[in-house]
Chains A and B, each alone.
Chain A
Amino acid sequence: MSLYDAYIGLLSLILLTCLASLSMQRLRPLIKTVALQGIAVTMTTLLYQQNVHFLLPFIMIIVKGVLIPMLLLYTLKKVSIKSEGKPIVGFHASVLLGILFLFMVIHYSHDKLSKLLADQSFSFSVAVVTIACGLFLMMARRKALTQVVGYLIMDNGIYLMGALFLKNIPFVLEFAILLDLLVAVMVMGIILHKINETFNSIDTTSLATLKDRWHE
């Protein structure tokens, strides 16, 4: 197996985790899928970039594959909710939309952008699909926790895109980006916990009271 094969394999794995996340109703496996995706993204970055700081992959795997999923699983346990319930866009429809979008992006980037992207058109498509998948999850699901997961998937996609383009971000900054992500998930987790305490559910439908009120 050549390095290129491993690379393509990892990208396919990322695509699969995206489609899987669209189909999942239960939240525990969803979080684990994102953890797997985070690890796959880290490995891709490793294969793609030369001379990365030797600590970076370890830190990335710890943050994306262990710490963030653990935080989310802990939050899940606290709010004692197991599944998504009734989503805004159904699970089967989501997967179908995902596959359609995937075909469109691959076709377009191969057709129109191949000149600009050269040999990176597949990885570019994977990154775009991952970002779109994350965004879609944030909009098409009702549970606040799924929205956090969607944010993480989107972040993975953006990271993948960055790995394509940027070959030498200083180590400190890569670390800072990861730290930001970790803090973001922590703060979101805390607020999520508060939402559960206050409303007795983590449905975002209960978060729709603020709006403009007019006077006569």
Chain B
Amino acid sequence: MNNLLLWAVCALPLTIGLITFLIPVDYYKRQLQHLSLLVALAHLLFTLFILFFKPSGDSYLFWSGEGGVLLLLISTLFLMAIIYLKNYFHDQEVATIKQCHAWCFLFLGAMSLTTLAHNIILFWVAIELTTLVSAPLIYTHKSKTSLEATWKYIILCSIGIAFALLGIFFVVMSLALIMPKEELSLTFSNFILYAPKMNRLWLELGLIFVLIGFGTKMGLAPMHSWLPDAHSEAPSPISALLSGALLNCAFLGIYRVYEIVGKSSAGAFGAELLISFGLLSIFFATIFMIRQNDYKRLLAYSSVENMGIIAFGTGIGGIALVGVYIHLIHHSLIKSSLFMTTGNLLKIFKSKEISKSGELATLHQGSFSVLLIGVFALVGGPPFGIFFSKLYIIIGAISQKLWWQTSLFLVMAAIITLTLLSVTFKISFHPLERGGTISADKKLLIWPQLFLLLCSLLLGLYYLLGSI
């Protein structure tokens, strides 16, 4: 009975997504939006049930701590994104809205499947599915540039994920060498069980390919080139989902394989690999953020940086791994909130360029406050969660005596903090040449962003009280 819950939470959005395609185009817009709200709420309800009952699962789907956390995160973000989407799309055609919602449901289903997948091949299938169903979402605006971003996204991520499959085959091979064929089971728990005895060469090879493959999807440098394009061209609530939910799913794949490697004789190799990829990503992101003139791309590169921090922390392990969990949760909450805010900015300034925006503080106070709080939280201002996660990761790095890596990390973090703050001030206060086109719409939403930031704040306070 409980295992049925696991299937239901994935099957519900997938089925409704497929059905939505069949609804006639000129069916009422409002009803479609009610339906999406209903799906999001039902998904959240199922997720809470799963977190409460902790079903043991079978050889295809299972409940795990990290998967459960991600599922709750995905469900919450989806609910907020859907609420924001309703407002964001009020002037769009019904056909566009219908397609966007249908792909969104499929996207939700595919992401839920990744968080619950127990079988390594099923996990791969789910990740590939997330790419395929999110590609049309990037093309929602139907412009030339969004088409280019979609093509890059689907081709690069498909190649990447194909490499991940190769890596998974190598990992399976290293298990197949020590197990009789009849008993070979491809579940993650089985891999963990036999990890210490697995063949080292195949496992190392497997980790490299999985890291390149899922790393492409997660946005690790130097395979990140699709990410800024896709994030800047997708509608803002979709960027929020891509950055907040999808990147985490790809990280889960790397984490699951790394967990196996960590328990084997190749653990040290894996750790070094993750630390290098992490630092490289932070470095690339810093370079591209400093003089960036597109605020959505700026946030996208910030996602690259944060994924780098997550990979870095995972490689360090120990207390840094606690930091990684906190970072994952709070980066999702805060970054999604900021991406939704860029939706407001885009509606106010009608441009994604930083040099063409300014005076937000007088134009729309609501957006100004969520932008300011969001950026403050993102750069690690206390008591938001990212402050604690960065602290844990730095403590972990120092306790491992990774001196130069830690200093590099700190310098990059400082540069990024300054960049983000200066851009925020520019958008908020820089005098604007009035062309008559700029006016703040009364209909701009801020409370979904506020809700996400509040979640981050309350969780941060909870850690604070817990640590005292």
Contacts and interface: CB of A to CB of B under 8 A. Distances in A.
Interface of A: 116, 131, 135, 138, 144, 147, 151, 154-155, 158, 161-162, 165-170, 173, 176-177, 180, 183-184, 187-188, 190-191, 194-195, 198-199, 204, 207-210, 212-216
Given A173-B125, A191-B139, A210-B148, 17 more contacts: A116-B201, A151-B155, A158-B169, A165-B172, A165-B173, A165-B176, A167-B181, A168-B181, A173-B121, A180-B128, A184-B154, A195-B151, A199-B144, A204-B151, A207-B147, A207-B151, A210-B233
Closest 5 CB pairs of A and B: A215-B293, A214-B291, A165-B173, A207-B148, A176-B125
Interface of A is mostly: helix
B169 A144 contact: no
Contacts of A207: 147-148, 151-152
Contacts of A151: 155, 158-159, 162
Contacts of A162: 165, 169
A198 B228 contact: no
Given A184-B132, A209-B144, A212-B228, A173 B181 contact: no
Interface of B is mostly: helix
B115 to A, nearest CB: 17
11 contacts: A138-B155, A151-B159, A158-B169, A169-B121, A177-B125, A184-B158, A209-B148, A210-B148, A210-B152, A210-B233, A212-B297
Nearest to A173: B121
Nearest to A174: B121
Interface in B118-136: 119, 121-122, 124-125, 128-129, 132, 135-136
A186 B311 CA distance: 33
A187 B148 contact: no
A173 B154 CA distance: 22
Interface string B217-253: 0000000000011001100000000000000000000
B132 A187 contact: yes
Interface of B: 119, 121-122, 124-125, 128-129, 132, 135-136, 139, 144-145, 147-152, 154-155, 158-159, 162, 165-166, 169-170, 172-173, 176, 181-182, 184, 186, 201-202, 228-229, 232-233, 288, 291-294, 297, 353-355
A166 B172 contact: yes
B10 to A, nearest CB: 13
Given A166-B176, A167-B181, A212-B297, A177 B155 contact: no
Contacts of A212: 228, 288, 292, 294, 297
B184 A167 contact: yes
Contacts of A176: 121-122, 125
Contact of B154 (A131, A188, A215): A188
Contacts of B292: 212-215
A211 B197 CA distance: 47
B113 to A, nearest CB: 10
Contacts of B184: 167-168
